[in-house]
Amino acid sequence: MSRNLQNRRSFLLRTGASLAALFAGTFNSSSVFAKSGLNYLSRIKGLIVDKTHPHYPLWRSSMSWYIFKPERFPDKIIRASSEQDVIHAINYARTSGQKVVVRSTGHNPARAVLRNDGLLLDLSQLREVEVDKESMTAWVQPGIKAEELLHITEQVGLAFPAAHTGIVGLGGYLLGGGLGWNMPEYGIACRSILAAEIITAQGKKVIASADENQELHWAIRGSGQGFFGAVVRYKLQLYPLHTSILLNRYVISLDNMEKAVEYFEKIGNAGDKRLETFIKVGRFYPSNLPEAKRDLVCTVGFFAFADSPAEAKQIMSPVVDSGISNISLLKKENLNISYKDLYRPPETDYSSPNRTVVENMWTDELGKTLLLLTEKMKNEPPTSPRSFLLGGWSFNSTFEDPSSCVQTAGRHYLSWYMIAEEEKHIDPNYKWMDESLELVMPFSKGHYINEIDTLRYPDQVQHCFSVKSWKKLATLRKKHDPDNVFHTFLGHT
Ligand SMILES: Cc1cc2nc3c(=O)[nH]c(=O)nc-3n(C[C@H](O)[C@H](O)[C@H](O)COP(=O)(O)OP(=O)(O)OC[C@H]3O[C@@H](n4cnc5c(N)ncnc54)[C@H](O)[C@@H]3O)c2cc1C
């Protein structure tokens, strides 16, 4: 794979000093060299913190983005400063009989990066991006976040289906599938992985693409936490940036929720893949009051992605013509926004690290499931008024793709988020989640690996894949990681 960027317009983002650099060396205490694999460990230039170090609790805690951390403790945290460090760390783990979990930015809701014992190999400092405008591709390292990538590609008129929340890292997002902006148009983000550089369990760097190591290419497109290697760079297909984005937003009283669902269906059936519909139910109205005093309402945002104002209006026309504004408490129409605005905080607590348990499903019955969960929220309010439901209507446009293991089994996507203000809310949140799952599971067509609690609900993991893909993943794991160097899905052995 040629990475010769001569005569091409390329952009390079390097992030410099960080906490890690500040402390690198300081934490390379002699105690960590005591075990086997010393040769490999001593060659690592990045940060190494082991359990005996006084700052270990702080470092362990910082590895998962969430406020409430599970009681799981890796023996060592290695923050790689280069691809070479990744190779040394994996060789060290394999030769000393330890397991590895790879981290990109630590946003996984199952807190999958925190495991007991072994190595936590942190790739968050690998943050280079090289964009090739001509071929509309980019090589991206795993520590780059959604908003950062879009900011870079935007400068050359290109876009990528990056996560809806700007802080999410590309590493784990892509590996698990990637539900991003423009997904109805371009498909789930991992389908835009053209190639990747992977460090295998044998400590070898290989390229995976449609032409080389196809089975690894298939596996990195959706296996998420279950992948058996470390991805140090992805080559991504980019797309022309839509220059005209229109947003219409409506707040709807729950008394009109059934009617609203009829409108969503009607608008969804209009079928333009450049129209994206996000429905949220939570305590959002009126937004000037504290959450506990707000009403539980449904808000919906329709985003029309186009290349001219006239085209944007035309894409939005099924929304305007539907008459949905007649049942709205509040409306904001014809808002001209940019890709940057997509990452402005909405009224939900979309990005709250107070999340405790998150669940999702692919479904063809989003209306029914939304109504069921809304009713439950109304009658049995969750511990925190900041908990919410999120639905992507007609979110999924591709169901079958033999070149990736990801499975997007339903037309719509539903996820819901339980927030805890205090530790004592965690158990009631799990109870609420258990009950809510029971209510809506009959309508599930499968799950998305990046937004489930694999430890609490281990059976769901298999339902993120087709039966055939699930078996193939197990076979590939045995073949490519015969010594079980890499942890598999949390909750599975
Ligand atoms: C606020 C918030 C908003 C979100 N929004 C979206 C969204 O819009 N769309 C969406 O699809 N998802 C979204 N997510 C979910 C997100 O995709 C997952 O949390 C994903 O795991 C995040 O990637 P990460 O790099 O932080 O993963 P991490 O937590 O760092 O890693 C998770 C697991 O992935 C594996 N892994 C990670 N990096 C690598 C690597 N480089 N090589 C090999 N294995 C690796 C490891 O097994 C690891 O245990 C959101 C999450 C949060 C917290």
Tell me, using a 6 A CB cutoff, whether residue 165 lines ligand 1.
Answer: yes
Tell me, using a 6 A CB cutoff, whether residue 158 lines ligand 1.
Answer: no
Residue-level pLDDT at 36: 59
**What is the 102 CA–ligand 1 centroid distance (Å)?**
11
Nearest atom in ligand 1 to 173's CA: 17
Residue-level pLDDT at 15: 32
Tell me, using a 6 A CB cutoff, whether residue 452 lines ligand 1.
Answer: no
Query: Where along the chain do the CATH 3.40.462.20 domains lie?
Result: 244-462
Report domain 19-122's class: alpha beta
Tell me, using a 6 A CB cutoff, whether residue 199 lines ligand 1.
Answer: no
DSSP 184-232: HHH-SGGGGEEEEEEE-TTS-EEEEESSSSHHHHHHHTT-GGG--SEEE
Tell me, using a 6 A CB cutoff, whether residue 107 lines ligand 1.
Answer: yes
Residue-level pLDDT at 400: 76
Nearest atom in ligand 1 to 189's CA: 11
Q: In what order do the strands lie in the sheet with 388-393?
A: 328-337, 244-253, 295-306, 275-285, 388-393, 412-419, 355-363, 444-446
Tell me, using a 6 A CB cutoff, whether residue 233 lines ligand 1.
Answer: no
Tell me, using a 6 A CB cutoff, whether residue 140 lines ligand 1.
Answer: no
**What is the 242 CA–ligand 1 centroid distance (Å)?**
26
**Taking a C-beta distance cutoff of 8 angstroms, is the pair 124, 188 a contact?**
no
Nearest atom in ligand 1 to 231's CA: 42
Tell me, using a 6 A CB cutoff, whether residue 115 lines ligand 1.
Answer: no
**What is the 429 CA–ligand 1 centroid distance (Å)?**
22
**What is the 256 CA–ligand 1 centroid distance (Å)?**
35
C-alpha distances (whole Å) from 360 to each of 234, 287, 400, 452, 456 are 26, 26, 20, 6, 13
Tell me, using a 6 A CB cutoff, whether residue 450 lines ligand 1.
Answer: yes
**What is the 123 CA–ligand 1 centroid distance (Å)?**
12
* Three-class SS state of 252: strand
Tell me, using a 6 A CB cutoff, whether residue 104 lines ligand 1.
Answer: yes
End-to-end CA, the chain:
35
List of residues 6+ apart from 420 with CB closer than 8 A: 68, 354, 355, 356, 383, 384, 426, 429
Residue-level pLDDT at 233: 98
What's the rounded Cα separation, in Å, for the pair 227 and 222? 9
Start-end of H helices in 45-82: 56-63
CATH of domain 244-462: 3.40.462.20
Closest residue CA from atom 19 of ligand 1: 108
CA 56 to chain centre: 27
Tell me, using a 6 A CB cutoff, whether residue 105 lines ligand 1.
Answer: yes
Tell me, using a 6 A CB cutoff, whether residue 489 lines ligand 1.
Answer: no
Query: Where along the chain do the CATH 3.30.43.10 domains lie?
Result: 19-122
**What is the 145 CA–ligand 1 centroid distance (Å)?**
10
Tell me, using a 6 A CB cutoff, whether residue 123 lines ligand 1.
Answer: yes
Tell me, using a 6 A CB cutoff, whether residue 179 lines ligand 1.
Answer: yes
The CATH architecture one would assign to domain 129-240 is: 2-Layer Sandwich (3.30)
Question: Which of the listed residues 139, 168, 386 should we mutate to test ligand 1's pocket, taking the one with most ligand atoms within 8 A of CB?
Answer: 168
pLDDT in tens, the chain (493 residues): 333 333 333 333 333 333 343 333 334 443 444 445 889 999 999 999 999 999 999 999 999 999 999 999 999 999 999 999 999 999 999 999 999 999 999 999 999 999 999 999 999 999 999 999 999 999 999 999 999 999 999 999 999 999 999 999 999 999 999 999 999 999 999 999 999 999 999 999 999 999 999 999 999 999 999 999 999 999 999 999 999 999 999 999 999 999 999 999 999 988 799 999 999 999 999 989 998 999 999 999 999 999 999 999 999 999 999 999 999 999 999 999 999 899 886 655 567 899 999 999 999 999 999 999 999 999 999 999 999 999 999 998 777 789 999 999 999 999 999 999 999 999 999 999 999 999 999 999 999 999 999 999 999 999 999 999 999 999 999 999 999 999 999 999 9
Tell me, using a 6 A CB cutoff, whether residue 101 lines ligand 1.
Answer: yes
The model carries a pTM of: 0.93
Query: Where along the chain do the CATH 3.30.465.10 domains lie?
Result: 129-240
Q: Which of 75, 101, 110 is nearest to 461 (CA)?
A: 110
Nearest atom in ligand 1 to 142's CA: 41
Nearest atom in ligand 1 to 111's CA: 29
- Give the number of other CB atoms < 10 A from CB of residue 282: 27
**What is the 108 CA–ligand 1 centroid distance (Å)?**
5
Tell me, using a 6 A CB cutoff, whether residue 261 lines ligand 1.
Answer: no
